[in-house]
Amino acid sequence: MSSEPQVKTAKQAGLGQCLKCHKLNVITHKDQRCSCCQAKISLRKYRSLEYTLAWTIAAIIAFFPANLYPIMIFTSLGSPEASTILSGIETFIKLGMYPVALVVFIASFIVPLGKMLGLLILIITVKTGSKVDPKHRTQLYHLVEFLGPWSMLDVFVVALMAAVVNLGFITSIEAGPGISYFALMVIFTMFAAESFDPRLLWDNLNNDD
Partner 1 sequence: MSVEPVSYDHMIACPQCDGLSTKPLLMEGQKAVCKRCGGKVMERKRDPIRRTLAVALAGLLLLLPATVLPLIGVSAVGLFNQASLLDCIAILIANDYHLIAVSLTIFTLAVPVIRLLAALYISWCIRTKRITPALVHFFRSYHQLDSWTMLHVFLLGIMVSMYKLVALAELSIGLGLVAFILLLICSTLVSVTLDKHYIWEQLENGCEQ
Chain residues 13-52 in contact with partner 1, contact rule CB under 8 A: 13-15, 17, 19-26, 28, 36-39
Question: How many C-beta neighbours within 10 Å does residue 14 have?
Answer: 11
CB distance 198 to 204 below 8 Å:
no
Q: How far is the CB of 31 from partner 1 (least distance, A)?
A: 17
The C-alpha atoms of residue 160 and residue 174 are separated, in whole angstroms, by 10
Q: Which is nearer to partner 1, 50 or 133 (CB)?
A: 133
CA angle 27, 209, 118 (to 5 degrees): 75
Chain residues 60-119 in contact with partner 1, contact rule CB under 8 A: 95, 97, 99-100, 103-104, 107
Nearest to residue 207, comparing CAs of 3, 11, 5? 11
Q: How far is the CB of 7 from partner 1 (least distance, A)?
A: 4
Three-state DSSP at 35 gives coil
Q: Which amino acid is at 61?
A: I
Q: How far is the CB of 39 from partner 1 (least distance, A)?
A: 5
Q: How far is the CB of 206 from partner 1 (least distance, A)?
A: 9
Q: Which residues contact 20 (CB under 8 A, 6 or more apart)?
A: 34, 37, 39
Residues that bind partner 1 (CB under 8 A): 4-5, 7-11, 13-15, 17, 19-26, 28, 36-39, 95, 97, 99-100, 103-104, 107, 134-135, 138, 145, 148-150, 152-157, 159-168, 170-171, 174-175, 179-180, 183-184, 187, 190, 194, 198-199, 201-203
